[in-house]
Structure formats: structure tokens, C-alpha cells
Amino acid sequence: MDHDLDLHADGPELTAALVDIASVSGEEGPLADAIERALHRLPHLQVTRHGNTLVARTDLGGAGRGKRERVLLAGHIDTVPHAANFPSEWGSRRRRLSGVGTSDMKSGVAVQLRLAAALNEPNRDVTYVFYECEEVDTARNGLYLLSRNAPETLQADFAVLLEPSGGAVEGGCQGTLRAAITASGARAHTARSWMGKNAIHEAAAILNVLSSWTPRKPVVDGLEYHEGLNAVAISGGVAGNVVPDECVVTVNYRFAPDRSEQEAQAYIRDLFAAWPVDILDSAPAARPGLTSGPAADFVAAVGGEPRAKLGWTDVARFAELGIPAVNYGPGISEIAHTPGEYVEAAKIVAAEQALTRWLTA
């Protein structure tokens, strides 16, 4: 079935239309097709497609007309799997739209599309990116793939990810790493357990480190972060009558952007120096950098009090490319991925107005 998107419908209506084209990660084809057809009807945009990821660019600077500032607005078009929350449903007074992806983040995609349609002569060149597979492994993430295969499409002076941020500017993001910490022992039959050494009992000391850990809350570029260190898995045991010789605790460390990946890994190795530590994966933090340049202009234009982004987002990918980036979107991050996910219509309209102000003032 082909879907046609009406970019002249208001933001909330367009959000509902986007939600009602199912696009669980890996199945974004029909929605990407619909967005592509809508973008092709806009003569001021140059549209390219990369898998189910679409890039649409203004080129007002053009050849011989001098270099202008370029900003990038990005949003992922996939959602987590449905949880009896598809298609969308309006509340009785049409203030809230419920359904999978309403907050995370088809309301943001609707704002992108509305701006793409309305602003044929923005005050800066704009690149709109609509990308696939954000909710799954990095290896399939459309933004990651662009950064590896067509990095020139992402070239910009500043980027806005329309991830749910409750209408506030969220700067930077915390890094994340996972590590496996192993307590060892010696097997024995439990009938003569004193012949062995119980690795699960040894792991108590690892858990005690976690229980007594106090989070850092550093202020970086004016925003306060809040670290976290949690066991996310524990496993051990051989059989019901065997003293186990190994117990593995997997921890997730969320670290503020005043620490590099290397510093964060060293910190964890040091904290658990009594045990072997295996770093399983790691992604860097991104500093907010909102105090100068195009990021400062953006904050001034959209207003409100910026806050620190605690989760890891694709903002960090832009940081790796040397492009300052923020999260700014109408959705609510706290209810993302829950069956009761919804978005407030007024937030969608407000975000569109603020971004229009920024791109036309």
C-alpha cells in the first residue's frame, strides 16, 4: 500500500499520519517511500536516498554565491516493536496523541517535514536527515552508516536531533560502557563445600562496591550531569550440588562528558582492581558546547533553560565528526518505549514555531 503524506496538515495531524505507517526497526521501507515522495515534491530540496535513510538539502549558497552556515536537523523514522499501541489514537480533546513512536520520535519527524515544506528560503542552509534503525544495533543505524559511507552528507556547522526532550534543549550526552567483572573460586561438591571456594560468595564484594558507590554530578559547560553505575546482569552456578568456580557481574557505567572513553574505562578498572575486568563495549560522551557559536545562537533563538542529556544519543556521533549537536524535540523521553507512549499536540506546534523562528529570524 502506498501512503501519501500531506505536509500541509498541521504538525499533530502529520504526526498521526506518520505513526500510522508502521515502521518498526528494519521495516521502515513504506515510511521511507512516503517521506521520499513528499520530499520530491519540494523543488527547493536536493533529495538522496541511502537504504531507508533520506537526506534532503537546501543549497541557497549555491555555486558562486559564497559559503553560508549550514545546520542539520535529524530524526530517526523507526520505532520499537508495537505493544498494543498501534495505530495512533487521539485523546477526547485532541490534546494528546497516543501510540508507538508518538514521542520517540515521529512528532519530531513531523516537525522536520513541516519545516522542510514551509521554509523554501531559510536564513541558513539546512540538511534534513530521516534515518533508519536507531532503536537497534549501531551497525544498522542509518546515521552511523552515513557517517561511515557518505560523511559529506552530514557536513554541517551545527546539528539538532529531534529526539524527545520535552521541548527543552538537551546538551551533550553521557557516555556509556559495559564491563564484565569476574569473581573466581574453586569447584567442590556442596556436601564438602569447604574443599572449594564459592565464587558467588566472592561476588558479594563486587556488589558491595556497587551498593556503596556515590555518583559524580559534574557541571560541564554550565550543565549538571549525573553519573550512574549499575549491575545489569549477574550469572554464576554449575549445578545444584556444586560449589561454583565463577560468577560474572556485568556493569553499565554512564559517565559525564568531562571523562573520555579511556578515562572512564580506567576508572572502572581501578574501582574493581581486585578482579579481572573485561570491557564489553563503550561509547563516548559528548560535551554540550552550548556557550558559543551556532549552538549558542540556537539556544538564544528557541529559548528556555538548557539541561544536560543523561542518556547516550546520536549527538555523540556528531561530536565524533566535530559537529556541535543538541537534542531538541516535542516528545517526552521518560515515556518512550512504554505501551502508554503519547505526545502533547501543543508541544509539536511549539517546537515547530521555535525552530521556524530560529531559521527565519
- Asked if 203 touches its own copies (CB under 8 A), the answer is yes
What are the two backbone dihedrals, phi and then psi, of residue 214, each rounded to the nearest 5 degrees? -110, 125
Single residue of 150, 186, 219, 233 touching its own copies by CB under 8 A: 233
Which helix (H) or strand (E) covers residue 184, if one does?
strand 175-184
CB of 235 or CB of 262, closer to its own copies:
235
C-alpha count within 13 angstroms, C-beta hemisphere, residue 20: 15
Tell which positions 145-184 bind its own copies, by CB under 8 A. Answer: 174, 176, 178
Single residue of 31, 100, 129, 247 touching its own copies by CB under 8 A: 247
Q: Tell me the Ramachandran region of residue 300: left when phi exceeds 0, alpha when psi lies from -120 to 50, beta otherwise.
A: alpha
- Asked if 231 touches its own copies (CB under 8 A), the answer is yes
- Asked if 81 touches its own copies (CB under 8 A), the answer is no
305 is catalytic: no
Single residue of 150, 219, 238, 274 touching its own copies by CB under 8 A: 238
Cβ partners under 8 Å of residue 192, min gap 6? none
Please give the torsion angle defined by the CA atoms of residues 292, 294, 295 and 301, in that order, rounded to the nearest 10 degrees: 110
157 is catalytic: no
Least distance in angstroms from the C-beta of 178 to its own copies: 6
CB of 92 or CB of 212, closer to its own copies:
212
Q: Tell me the Ramachandran region of residue 35: left when phi exceeds 0, alpha when psi lies from -120 to 50, beta otherwise.
A: alpha
Single residue of 70, 106, 114, 254 touching its own copies by CB under 8 A: 254
Spatial separation of the C-alpha atoms in residues 60 and 68, rounded to whole Å: 8
Range in contact with its own copies (rule: CB under 8 A) among 16-24, 63-71, 228-236, 258-266: 228-236
Range in contact with its own copies (rule: CB under 8 A) among 69-77, 112-120, 157-165, 202-210: 202-210
Range in contact with its own copies (rule: CB under 8 A) among 119-127, 128-136, 250-258, 317-325: 250-258
Spatial separation of the C-alpha atoms in residues 93 and 103, rounded to whole Å: 18
Sheet architecture: strand order including 342-344: 89-90, 96-98, 342-344
Catalytic residue among 134, 245, 314, 341: 134
So which residues are the catalytic ones? 78, 134
